[in-house]
Amino acid sequence: MAKTLWISDIQSGSFTGEVIELQGWIKRHRSSGKIIFMTIRDSTGEIQCVAKKADMNEENFDSLKNALIESSVKLTGLVKSDDRAPGGHELTISAGLIIGAVNAQNPFPITESAMEQTEGGETEFLLDNRHLYLRTSRMTTMLKIRSTIFGSIHEYFRKRDFIEYQAPSFVAGAVEGGSTLFEVPYFGRKAYLTQSWQLYAEAAMPALERLYTIAPSFRAEKSRTRRHLTEFWHAEMEIAWGGNEEVMEHGEALVRSIAKTILNERSDELESLGRDLNLISRYADSPYPRMRYDEAVETLQGMGVEIEWGQDLDYSKEKVLTKDFDVPHFLTHYPKIAKPFYHRPDPDDEKYVLCHDLLAPEGYGEIIGGGERTWSEKEILERIDEEGTPREPYEFYIDIRRYGGVPHGGFGMGVERVCSWLSGADHIREVIPFPRDSRRVTP
């Protein structure tokens, strides 16, 4: 029963002239008294199948004629090459079996015309029916690209001898401000869902020196944008004996390597989404420029944008700034007051911290945030007190500095943001199977 034959192989010509058994789902269906054309899909592609009344058992012909879209089928027939068939090959059916029928009282709710008309396909209806929308070609394509990107991240780090390392999802404290934590009951106490692997990675930094993960992070932000999820996959890395510059180099190399990988392995999928491959190839090959926060502020002021030194760069300003860039670029050296305590102040000028954000072009915004960590006991205590953050929840974090602290740093990359940008998605929801945001936890 296990399937061993895939439509992509039929379309590439491997079975032409052979009688085969094909398993798949009906994607399109048109019929008459004498002939049926069915487009069958599987995970690898589509193929047109033809049943002629004259060539097969009449009862069998009628059952195929009445089959509805998304019924699963097993078809036996001869593979022919035929210019009239999309993809160049088709199956002439000699016998067919409906495996999982679709009932006419309850036909497949997602029609092609509905999807065509909704551009980008993110209506409430499609979100409610996400479990069914997954099997349509746009979602399938997105999920394949997503898989390749995940694989590419693992490959990048493993090739460089990074150790994959896991942090708990239930945590006691916050990385960022406490307002964005999900609180969960924990046997009479309160626990929170993690926002980042970073603090726990720093604990293992003196042991493993080069570490990474890809794991879910949770943020209870009521953000209603095309860049935010409450549960997202976070690719993070941490290295010992390295500073802002080394971390940034990894960030750049990682993103370029992802772009290169999808270009090599998913160019058909990218093109089917209407993506310009020249663009992706530019992201894969060009260096990413660096710009200090001060330069960014000056540039913006020169453009007439109202911004004062010390203000964080919000999305509206990022957008103006990145408008003229055609590759991702780094923003570095933010003012200390705009960033949390774990960022290390710049020894050359204590007003700034050694940090960086990587901003993607085309309006996709921030995809990486990272930098050098405050690493000495003295500095971390100063920064925590300065911010008025209580010390107690961070005792373990301070301990890391008490016992052989070393310079170190790392970054976090929003994997869905990268998927969304590289695939040219209209919304971050398009690149994750079951998106979670402030208003939706179902299906």
Q: Coil, strand, or helix at residue 110?
A: coil
Structure tokens at 97: 């079996």
Residue 327 CA to residue 27 CA, distance in Å, equals 38
Q: Which C-beta is closer to RNA: that of 225 or that of 264?
A: 225
d(CA 256, CA 347): 30
d(CA 31, CA 29): 7
**Torsions phi, psi for 407 (to 5 deg):** -60, 135
Q: Which is nearer to RNA, 118 or 286 (CB)?
A: 118
- Strand ranges (DSSP E) for 373-431? 408-414
Binding mask 235-254 for RNA (x = CB under 7 A): --------------------
Among 17, 33, 185, 287, binds RNA (CB under 7 A): 33
For residue 68, which of 126, 9, 20, 26 has the smallest C-alpha distance?
A: 26
> Residue 130 in 3-state DSSP?
helix
Task: State the nearest-atom distance from the C-beta of 395 to RNA, in Å.
Answer: 22
Handedness of CA 395, 352, 255, 361 (dihedral sign): positive
C-alpha pair distances (Å), 13 with each of 25, 47, 88, 95: 21, 12, 9, 22
At 51, give phi and psi (nearest 5°): -120, 130
Chosen residue from 48, 141, 244, 332 binding RNA by CB under 7 A: 48
In whole angstroms, the minimum distance from the beta carbon of 187 to RNA comes to 28
If binding is defined by CB under 7 A, does position 430 make contact with RNA? no
First to last CA, the chain: 30
Nearer to RNA, 117 or 166 (CB): 117
Tell me if 84 contacts RNA by CB under 7 A: yes
DSSP state of 384: H
From candidates 180, 257, 281, 389, binder to RNA by CB under 7 A: 180
Min CB(236)–RNA separation in Å: 9
* Residue count, binding to RNA (CB under 7 A): 77
Name the E strands within 208-319: 210-218, 231-240, 290-292
Nearest residue (CB) to RNA, 21 versus 314: 314
From 64, 93, 127, 248, residue interacting with RNA (rule: CB under 7 A)? 127
Does position 443 interact with RNA (CB under 7 A)? The reply is: no
Selected binder of RNA within 85, 171, 307, 354 (CB under 7 A):
85
Question: Interacting stretch for RNA, rule CB under 7 A, among 14-22, 26-34, 131-139, 271-279?
Answer: 26-34
**71: phi then psi, degrees, rounded to nearest 5:** -65, 145
Pair 75, 92: CB distance under 8 Å: no
What's the min distance (Å) between Cβ of 414 and RNA? 3
Compare residues 219 and 401 and give the one whose CB is closer to RNA: 219
| 232 belongs to the binding site for RNA (CB under 7 A) | yes
Q: Which is nearer to RNA, 94 or 267 (CB)?
A: 94
Contact between 54 and RNA per CB under 7 A: no
90 is an interface residue for RNA by CB under 7 A: yes
Which one of 142-150, 161-169, 260-268, 312-320 is the stretch in contact with RNA (CB under 7 A)?
312-320
CA 404 to chain centre: 37
**Measured from the CB of residue 412, what is the shortest distance to RNA in angstroms?**
4
Q: What strands lie across the sheet with 163-164, from one edge to the other?
A: 163-164, 210-218, 231-240, 408-414, 365-372, 355-360, 329-332, 290-292
Instruction: State the nearest-atom distance from the C-beta of 332 to RNA, in Å.
Output: 14
Residues 6+ apart with CB under 8 A from 131: 443
- The amino acid at 185: P
Which residues in the 341-400 window bind RNA by CB under 7 A? 357, 365-369
16, 44, 76, 122: residue in contact with RNA (rule CB under 7 A): 122
Is the CB of 35 or the CB of 279 nearer to RNA? Answer: 35
Does residue 114 interact with RNA by CB under 7 A? yes
Strands 355-360 and 349-353: unpaired
Contact status, residue 229 vs residue 419, Cβ threshold 8 Å: no
Kindly state the smallest distance separating residue 103's Cβ from RNA, in Å.
9
289 or 363: CB nearest RNA: 363
Residues 412, 366 contacting (CB under 8 angstroms): no
Helix, strand or coil for residue 177? coil
Q: Can you tell me which of 69, 204, 214, 320 binds RNA, judged by CB under 7 A?
A: 69
Binding segment toward RNA, per CB under 7 A, in 33-41, 156-164, 285-293, 379-387: 33-41
Site for RNA in 191-210 (CB under 7 A): 196
Nearer to RNA, 121 or 405 (CB): 121
Kindly tell me which of 269 and 430 has the beta carbon lying closer to RNA: 430
